[in-house]
Structure 1
C-alpha cells in the first residue's frame, strides 16, 4: 500500500514506461553523480566560494592578495586553494617566487556566473 499523500503521490499506479526509459537514457551515470556531488561539496564552503568569486572578478591573484581580499588567514587560503587545485577548479602559474591562481577554465566561470544569477533571481 502506498502511504504517500499530497503532492508526493502519483495519481496513477503504473509508471509511464516510455518516459522512464527516455529519462534513464539521458540520466547522469552513478560515477558522474558522485563527481558532481563532490564538486558541489567543494563549492559549498563559504571561504572557497569567496575565493572563487575573487578569482572570477580579478582574473588572477596570489595567496597574499586572496588573503587580504577575502579576509581569512593565509593558512586557510592555502588549504582551500590546494583542494580547489586538486579538483581542477583552479590552476596556478609561477612567476619567480610568486604563485598566481586563476579559475581553471570557462566552465568554472560559467558555473559561478549562473549560480550568482540564480541567487539574485530569487
Structure 2
C-alpha cells in the first residue's frame, strides 16, 4: 500500500526572499505567547481567569465554590497562575484575595469566551 500523498505542502523548495526577510523579525515577537495560552489551555485555569476577569478580587474559597473545584486544586492552579505573572494576591488577616495582574489576559479570555459562544 503506497503512502497517501500530501497535497498541502509545496512540491518545490523556493521562497520569496523579500517576504522572508521582511517578516522574519516578527517571529521573535511571539516569544512568551505560548506560555500564556498554555495557562489558558487548562479548563480549571481558564475558568479561574474568566471569573477573575469579571470581578475585582475573590478569595480562594469563593473561587473554589464558583468553579466547582476543591480548595486544594483551586489553590494549586492559582499558584501556577501567580507564578506565570497572570494573577496577583493580597493577604488580609487569614484571607487571601486574588485578582488578575494582566489586563491583556482579561481581553484574551473575553475574546475566547465570545468565540466559544459563537461556536454553540
Give the TM-score normalised by structure 1. 0.82
Q: Determine which structure has greater relative contact order: mean sequence separation of CA pairs < 8 Å that are 6+ residues apart, divided by chain length.
A: 2
User: 13-22 vs 112-121, which deviates more?
Assistant: 112-121
Which runs of 5 or more structure 1 residues have no equivalent in the other structure? none
Structure 2 residues not aligned, in runs of 5+: none
Q: Considering only aligned residues, what root-mean-square deviation do their CA atoms show, in Å?
A: 2.1
SS at match of 1:101: strand
Asked if 1:53 is matched to 2:56, the reply is: no
What TM-score, normalized by structure 2, do the two folds share? 0.84
Quote the Cα distance in structure 2 between the aligned partners of 1:22 and 1:12: 22
Instruction: Say how many residue pairs are matched.
Output: 116
Q: How does 1:92-103 map to 2 (within 5 A)?
A: 92-103=89-100
Find runs of 4+ consecutive structure 1 residues off by over 4 angstroms. none
Partner of residue 26, structure 2:
26
